[in-house]
Amino acid sequence: MVHHHAEEPRHPHVCDLKTEYLVNPLGMDEPAPRFSYQLAGILAQTARQLRVRNDARDVVWDSGWVQDGSSQQIAYAGKALKPFTRYTWQVRVKDEAGQATAWSSEEAWFETGFLDTPWKHSKWITYWQGPRYDLAPQLFTHAFTLPAKKIAKARYYGTALGVYETLINGQNITDWVFTPGWTDYFHRVQYQCFDVTGLLQKGTNKLRITLGGGWFHGRIAHHWNNGEIPYGKTEMLRCEIHVTFADGSTQVIGSSQDFQTNNLGGPLRMSDIYDGEIYEAWRTPEWLEKTGPWFPALETDTKVQVVWNSGAPIRRLQTRPPEKIIHRRGSTWVVDFGQNLTGRERLILHNTVKGQALVIKHGEMLDKDGSVYVANLRSAKALTVYTADTAEEATYEPTFTFFGFRYLEISGWNGRLAKKDVQAVVLSSDLPRTGLFACNNDLLNQLYENVGWGLRSNFLDVPTDCPQRDERFGWTGDTQVFCNAATYNVFAPAFYAKWVTDLNLGQRPDGAYKFAAPDTTNSPGKPATGWGDAAIIVPWRLYVKYGDKRLLEKFFDNMDRYLKLELSNSKGTCVVDNEHFGDWLHIDAPTSKALIGTAYFAGSSRLLARIAKVLGKSNAARRLDMQYRKAREAFQQNFLNAKGLTEKTQTACLLALHFDLLPEKLVKPTVKLLVKDITVNRKLHLSTGFLGTPLLLPVLTRFGQLDLAYDLLLQTTYPGWLYPITQGATTMWERWNSYTHETGFGDVNMNSFNHYAYGAVAEWFYETIAGIQPLEDNPEALAFKHFRLAPQPGKRLDSANAVFFSPYGMIASSWMRDRRKNTLTWSFTVPDNTTAEITLPATEILSFSGNCELQHDADGRLIALPGEYELVLNLKG
């Protein structure tokens, strides 16, 4: 039965306008910002026109009608942008019939900041020229007077080598935390721009800035550098407040030696990312102001470049009440939030007495005896010590530190600790959520939730390995494997672009990338297979998923230099046998570094050849294609014999298959070897580590082993994705057996309970279970302008439901099996101005409803136009 839905009335319009991936950004200094928007009620855009005006309403760019269907990555090409200027922009489009919409009514804007002009009205200031070794944040104050005139607008521009918190007249100027964020401070630091119009007043205004060490000067910056502080000897800050009055006159307040500082410091006696915080509440601002001595701040300077804040802010995403509070003994309580997370506690204090100290430990697990487990934090103290001032109710939350924790142990609490007295504040880079997934298997749903928590917990301005122990670095390998899954779950182009930029700033002159970005050592690097390759893989993902070509353009030569270094290290043989991390944390199934190195070298050469083609670099593309073929040959010569792979691990098979390194006749036997190792040798278990694991399900699926992929995913015994869940995991763990009910904790030296790398598996939920896939080979398809819908339900799940908010709008795919009738009902949504290439999960259509018929294109592919569809398919036969 086939029928049409009556055409629903549509109100064509343009929506979701963004500039450089941001909604109405302040302090946006990209000279050619890229615009994007979505369409509603328009099947296909045939042309578009953008118009940008400055604050005098003059048109500074009119694109004219451009015959093009894309609504993403439209680069500004008008008059040079001016600093400190608000620009508004509008767009209109023509639909499939050539009918033009009205100009977008919703005016989008962006406001430039310094745009490469100097900070004329301020100096870098510091408290002590250094070197400083203690971890006590410093205070700066400044009082200034504004005339009795109406303020039209005021902007705070601020940055620091360190972390800063700014109060104007006692009020925090922003809900962002950990400003200015973490960049490669050997090269650059971000500044932020905040609208402070509402915080200023006529007459006297008071500015107070607390400056902590953060990533710049805290232990994270030097723990792994033999105690040397590589970024700089001491923290410093810089700020300017630009005030415009209603009469058009302006006044600028800038940091200088007019700012006051003192050597007593405020209530924060120590604040450090690894170690936590010591807070003495009696050292109030009033006490400080009286006590002094205050002295002028020291003016200083730095060569570090100040750049605009292109990434995402860190914010308090939520506050959670305790799930359980357990009395331990005397004044000691254990609080269980029921969820491992990144953030810090918020205490609502009452009944305290002056001088009373609270000591708070943070841990992800409980030990056998019920105490909070902290052994896996290694040298990170992760401790809060709070000394009370009065008995009055007070709220306390640490300022410049974060912890990875599910449990708190609070000692020194007066009386009974109640649920209302304490909360967990969840901190994360604040990125719009773009993905949802659910199915009828609760363990799988929990796995999906755990991946989400792994992401939230490890997206803290930088994508990190873990949030709790003395690490928390932007490890490249972890980022590389997780990036695809992450970019289904959240809108992360700017977040990753910032990281990729820092990765490239840290690249050594010989081409080696550091193992983590931002770099903290400024020391030589080494090419590390699967880790360094992040520099090629992550930008490619961003290109496919968001259409971002700029990173490819900007860093192509860097990527090429990296592969050239690997090639020269191999003495031209393409057998890349460097010292690297190998298939990190594999399960008694070592694969040689030479095999992994060579396979990845081939794979990255092939990918870079593709990138070269995208960039129109045909010579480089040819050279790199040749390099891929040479590496493939080298792989075959060194790691194959007549029967197949000389190394028989799952990871060896996966790499060979994934990077297409085998002669045709050895493909099937290798798949067989892989299947046998999983099913027979390992009794339906994986043996792979960081590099092999993400490839398992995609490769099995690609080579005809869908049912095995499902079986492996749904395995609940060790090792496998669901095993930690049976052991109580609420996040992704570093090891499958980081903890087991039977044997307790794993190796304490490397035992994080919040490590997202194995969360890479979530990409398969979207791409295979729900079947939402980008079309990587089609440059017209970028950012899901065209995409594939090809769900593969397998045999074991009864239903699955995924939603992905792509740059063009919401893609949905959900299916439900009727086991009695042996049918599958599949519904999907194709957003406006896109098309989907459909691969049906079964051949016979029993019923169809949709906005229009599925159509066949010239190549015989089944195509769905924008709309909503529901098909019932016959699964018999």
Residue nearest to ligand BGC (CB): 465
Complex with ligand BGC: residue 147 or 524, whichever CB lies closer: 524
Q: How far apart are the first and last CA of the chain?
A: 20
Q: Which is nearer to ligand BGC, 67 or 749 (CB)?
A: 749
Q: How far is the CB of 528 from ligand BGC (least distance, A)?
A: 8
Tokens encoding 34: 């890229």
H or E element in which residue 453 lies: helix 442-458
Cα–Cα distance for residue pair 575/33, rounded to 1 Å: 42
456 strand-pairing partners: none
Of 216, 499, 581, 723, the one binding ligand BGC (CB under 6 A) is 581
Site for ligand BGC in 473-512 (CB under 6 A): 475, 477-478
**Which lies closer to ligand BGC via its Cβ, residue 471 or residue 548?**
471
CB of 734 to ligand BGC, least distance (A): 7
Tally of helices (H runs) and strands (E runs) in the chain: 16, 50
Closest distance of CB 531 from ligand BGC, Å? 7
HEC per residue, 532-588: CCHHHHHHHHHHHHHCCCHHHHHHHHHHHHHHHHHHHHCCCCCCCCCCCCCCCCCCC
Smallest distance from ligand BGC to CB 713, Å = 22
List the x/- string, 180-199, binding to ligand BGC by CB under 6 A: --------------------
Strand order in the sheet with 867-874: 2-4, 844-850, 867-874, 823-830, 809-818, 799-806, 435-439
Buried (b) or exposed (e) across 756-794, using 16+ Cβ within 10 A?
bbbbbbbbbbbbbbbbbbbbeeeeebbbbbbbbbbbbbb
Q: d(Cα 290, Cα 24) in Å, to the nearest integer? A: 42
Shortest Cβ 578–ligand BGC spacing (Å): 14
721 and 738 Cβ atoms separated by less than 8 Å:
no
Q: What is the DSSP letter of 795?
A: T
Residues with a catalytic annotation lie at: 471, 734
> In the complex with ligand BGC, which residue's Cβ is closer, 164 or 405?
405
Contacts with ligand BGC by CB under 6 A: the residue count is 8
Of 715, 693, 679, the C-alpha closest to 724 is 715
- Nearer Cβ to ligand BGC, position 482 or 601? 482
Residue placing its CB nearer to ligand BGC in the complex, 477 or 759: 477
**Within positions 584 to 603, which residues make up the interface with ligand BGC, using CB under 6 A?**
584
Of the pair 160, 757, the CB lying nearest ligand BGC is at 757
Binders in 642-701 for ligand BGC, by CB under 6 A:
none
Residue 560 is a binding residue for ligand BGC (CB under 6 A): no
Burial of 160-180, coded b for 16+ CB within 10 Å and e otherwise, reads bbbbbbbbbeeeebbebbbbb
Return d(Cα 177, Cα 215) in angstroms, integer.
Answer: 13
User: Would you tell me how many other CB atoms lie within 10 Å of the CB of residue 99?
Assistant: 11
- Subset of 437-476 contacting ligand BGC (CB under 6 A): 465-466, 471, 475
Least CB distance to ligand BGC at residue 475 (A):
4
Element (H, E) at 673: helix 664-676
What element of type H or E holds 212? Answer: strand 203-212
Residues 6+ apart with CB under 8 A from 200: 146, 151, 154, 168, 169, 241, 243
Tell me how far, at minimum, the Cβ of 597 lies from ligand BGC, in Å: 15
Residue with structure tokens 């700014």? Answer: 166
CB of 581 to ligand BGC, least distance (A): 4
For residue 100, list its beta bridge partners.
94
Residue 466 vs 656, nearer CB to ligand BGC: 466
Q: Which of 247, 579 has the CB closer to ligand BGC?
A: 579
The residue among 184 and 478 lying less far from ligand BGC, judged by its C-beta, is: 478
Residue type present at position 651:
T
**CA–CA gap between residue 299 and residue 140 (Å, rounded):** 13
CB of 466 to ligand BGC, least distance (A): 6
Q: How far is the CB of 516 from ligand BGC (least distance, A)?
A: 8
Rounded Cα distance, 227 and 168, in Å:
36
Q: Which residues sit at the interface with ligand BGC, rule CB under 6 A?
A: 465-466, 471, 475, 477-478, 581, 584
